Amino acid sequence: MTATEAVSLLRSKEVSPLDLVEASIKRIETVDHEVNSLPIHCFEQARDRAKSLDLETHASNPKSLCGLPIAVKDYNDLGGAVTTYGSPIFADNVAQKSDATVRKLESNGAIAIAKSNVPEWAGGHTFNPVNGLTRNPWDLSKSAGGSSGGSAAALASGLVWLATGNDLGGSLRTPAAFNGVVGLRPSPGRVPRGT
């Protein structure tokens, strides 16, 4: 099921945000132990948000994600969750608030369910001393790429329908190609940065 199809089901109330959160959690717990694309789980936070989301407001907005579970790259701050940047220096760095990108997604009905693995300091292959190696779900002996390799591998594994990433020199496009998914790099300045 595509993200568009999932949002359509949410909008028509054929499924609830909590239904999709639980389906995503089940898939993560079943599959991700081999791939390691989403090592930082925010399951209770996601469940709480799914239960409290005002679906009536979101369903009337054609641009809303209506409660769609997403993954947030571990370079983006998600309030209440750790942001490690893949570095032991930040292994216990809990974000006090979500950054601008995550806030924008949440205000449009997204539910952050987990954080995707990254290479330490944005290297080309997704492995780090905090959360380990992310494997390519199509061939576990191959690289998921970087630096958005965790996000791309999570999408290819069917763990979530959308995931954040960032890209200055191929950090979205390369992992997307390695994992057989779409990675969109908008023009610089189009997506908000920072807090």
**Confidence at residue 151, expressed as pLDDT on a 0 to 100 scale:** 98
Catalytic annotation, residues: 73, 147, 171
- Structural domains for the chain: 3-179 (3.90.1300.10)
Picking from 145, 147, 165, 138, the residue whose alpha carbon sits closest to that of residue 31 is 138
* Burial bucket for residue 137 (CB in 10 Å: 0-12, 13-18, 19+): buried
Please report, in tens digits, the pLDDT of each residue of the chain (195 residues total).
Answer: 999 999 999 999 999 999 999 999 999 999 999 999 999 999 999 999 999 998 787 777 878 999 999 999 999 999 999 999 999 999 999 999 999 999 999 999 999 999 999 999 888 899 999 999 999 999 999 999 999 999 999 999 999 999 999 988 899 999 999 999 999 888 888 877 776
- pTM of the predicted structure, to 2 decimals: 0.95
User: Measured between alpha carbons, how far is 126 from 38 in angstroms, rounded to an integer?
Assistant: 12
pLDDT at 143: 96
